[in-house]
């Protein structure tokens, strides 16, 4: 009996032939949107502890990424260095992730619920060089935890704190300089090859220690292309990202998908159905890629959502079209 073996070369060829592996860096798609619609809303970041959401146009987002990328380079962050990001769905997550791509670094998204045991293992396994954390989130002191872990993580050179103070705060460390590191010209690869590891995403570790799953830009963009095609998404859409950015659903199928197609992306950091419905109604959100409990909670609280919610399954999440009005 012949044995079926996975042939990675043949698989890559079929993915390219099918138009899913496009051999481009993420900046190329971002540049196209910035050039075409610089004033369009790129990101709205809703924080439960803030009275007003932050709004960024594509031009503003592009400039923040350029500033942060220049600062990463100044800090010595470059190709194959790991940047771990343990943030809620805050605008800083998008900026640091896309800036890390630009300098060729590997983004390691981490869930905010991780504490010393899980976080210490993951940072050590990844050999993280730079860690981004919130000062406080939902009553927990992430900055103190990170500083407590640092002495036993010899590769961890930098800790940057969102809402922190002094030179290690996110604003001071990454956005205060005047230097800009712009994207490579369209058609050029830049610091991050499409087949080079771009994201290290840990599994939940339910049957042992968490496993670090490696993704390159080709696999991430293949996810974006497949989802956009399956659900008919394009630049006219607005995407609500309420799934955590520390999980592949929020990170790749939400944030990266939205920016890849040039849509407007909305972050909600603490899931609360009533607030989510209000955001959808106010901002005219038609789409979100989430796990089933999110739309189910909305449907229980809103007859209008319940009547108009249409869902279609993909492997581990659901892409939903909302009509909250």
In this predicted model, what pLDDT tens digit does every residue of 161-184 receive, in sequence order? Answer: 999 999 999 999 999 999 999 999
The rounded distance, in Å, linking the Cα atoms of 321 and 323 is 7
Least confident of 78-82, 229-233, 269-273, 310-314: 310-314
d(CA 231, CA 31): 24
Q: Domain spans of the chain?
A: 58-232
Return d(Cα 126, Cα 32) in angstroms, integer.
Answer: 33
Superfamily of domain 58-232: ANL, N-terminal domain (3.40.50.12780)
pLDDT of residue 90: 98
| Average pLDDT across the chain, whole number | 88
Asked whether residue 313 carries a pLDDT value surpassing 60, the answer given is no
Q: What is the pLDDT, as a whole number, of residue 325?
A: 40
User: Using 50, 70 and 90 to split pLDDT, how confident is the model at 11?
Assistant: low
Q: How do beta strands 158-162 and 238-241 pair?
A: unpaired
**Which pTM value belongs to this model?**
0.88
SS3 18: coil
Whether the CB-CB separation of 146 and 133 falls below 8 Å is answered with yes
pLDDT at residue 176, as a whole number: 96
Q: In this prediction, what percent of the chain has a pLDDT beyond 90? A: 72
Q: Is the pLDDT of residue 147 over 80?
A: yes
Residue 3 has what pLDDT? 59
């Amino acid at each position: 009996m012949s044995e079926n073996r996975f042939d990675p070369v043949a698989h890559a060829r079929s993915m390219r032939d099918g138009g899913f592996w496009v051999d481009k860096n993420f900046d190329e798609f971002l540049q196209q949107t910035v050039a075409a619609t610089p004033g369009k809303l790129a990101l709205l970041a809703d924080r439960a502890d803030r009275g007003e959401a932050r709004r960024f146009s594509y031009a503003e987002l592009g400039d923040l990424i350029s500033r942060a990328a220049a600062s990463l380079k100044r800090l010595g962050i470059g190709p194959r260095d790991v940047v771990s990001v343990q943030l809620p769905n805050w605008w800083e997550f998008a900026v640091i992730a896309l800036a890390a791509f630009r300098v060729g670094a590997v983004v390691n998204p981490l869930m905010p619920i991780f504490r010393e045991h899980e976080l210490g293992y993951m940072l050590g396994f990844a050999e993280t060089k730079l860690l981004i954390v919130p000062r406080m989130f939902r009553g927990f002191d992430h900055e103190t935890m990170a500083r407590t872990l640092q002495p036993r993580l010899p590769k961890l050179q930098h800790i940057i704190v969102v809402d922190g103070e002094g030179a290690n705060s996110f604003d001071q460390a990454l956005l205060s300089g005047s230097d800009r590191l712009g994207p490579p010209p369209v058609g050029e690869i830049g610091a991050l090859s499409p087949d080079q590891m771009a994201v290290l995403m840990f599994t939940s570790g339910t049957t042992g220690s968490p496993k670090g799953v490696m993704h390159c830009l080709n696999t991430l963009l293949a996810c974006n292309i497949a989802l956009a095609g399956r659900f008919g998404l394009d630049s006219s859409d607005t995407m609500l990202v309420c799934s955590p950015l520390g999980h592949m659903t929020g990170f790749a199928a939400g944030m990266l998908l939205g920016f890849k197609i040039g849509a407007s992306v909305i972050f909600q950091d603490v899931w609360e159905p009533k607030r989510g419905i209000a955001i959808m109604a106010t901002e005219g959100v038609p789409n979100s890629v989430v796990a089933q409990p999110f739309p189910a909670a909305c449907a229980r609280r809103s007859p209008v959502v319940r009547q108009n919610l249409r869902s279609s399954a993909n492997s581990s999440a659901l892409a939903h079209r909302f009509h909250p009005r």
